A = this chain, B = another copy of it.
């Protein structure tokens, strides 16, 4: 049971070669005579040798590990992104250190510190925006980083997301085309740039194009939870709104169920369109119409971009907007 750690040195001795040679075959590196390679490989197998990645990391200054800062793995949107990240990470032989930040500034900073201490080769940052302080830390370090799913207001950091403004505009326009003029805008947390700037702009553009005046009372701030939505339904009920753009599925589900419970018929009396397209959209009754976002792909592409950055390859375009769609289900006519 006591697997006394076998080192590269043991292998070298047993195989009658130097550790440099063993290192070479382990790394599939340069030119080693086939015969030697076979001999070494045999010993590695016999001794059950497993290269110590930590030592490797020290010597080569590469850890083949990337950090992933995520608000909450429990959030369907982010976990889907994370899955995309991990899949391509492992495809390129990287592991990911996953760290939840709760979207909190101080936690993010702390987590970043940690990740850098662990010498990660790169970082994919997920979040709804990029705080000033964090951006500073990023630029101070020379670890490549890419932002997945979020927005960087100053377009300074490589990013992959969708065009939130356009998507929102499309969704709202769809509602307008269905005859609505009183459309509630409920993107979630209005503090976040993604809502406060991008989505709001899309909403406003759609209204403007249709010649509808922007009415501030149609803008609602909310937490990204089912319960927040459920409660908001009451508030909504008291307004003249006849449709709503909602920034997240759980929130939308809450609103939908809340409204339904109050006897409102969706979509006859009230239409809803949500901004994400998680499994939830199929589960609610009626099913939620939504913007379809390629979450998994966003994560995958972000990670792929990161591998390039880590290899110091040139990135043609550091700001990718993936295509999105609009899926009509049952909460819109």
A contact set with B: CB distance below 8 Å: 1-3, 50-55, 57-58, 63, 65, 68, 72-74, 76, 79-80, 82-83, 86-87, 90, 95-100, 113-119, 139-142, 226, 250, 253, 257, 260, 279-280, 282-285
Contact = CB atoms under 8 A, between A and B. Distances in A.
A173 B19 CA distance: 65
Contacts of A52: 58, 117, 119
Given A58-B58, A279-B226, A282-B226, A114 B142 contact: no
B283 A253 contact: yes
Nearest to A113: B50
A149 to B, nearest CB: 15
A38 B68 CA distance: 34
Contacts of A87: 100
A141 B96 CA distance: 22
B140 A50 contact: no
Given A279-B250, A285-B257, A74 B65 contact: no
Q: Which 9 A-B pairs have the closest CB atoms?
A: A98-B98, A54-B57, A53-B118, A53-B117, A253-B283, A73-B79, A54-B119, A74-B83, A95-B97
A220 B87 CA distance: 31
A54 B58 contact: yes
Contacts of A257: 283, 285
Nearest to A57: B54
A329 B142 CA distance: 53
A97 B65 contact: yes
B96 A83 contact: no
A246 to B, nearest CB: 14
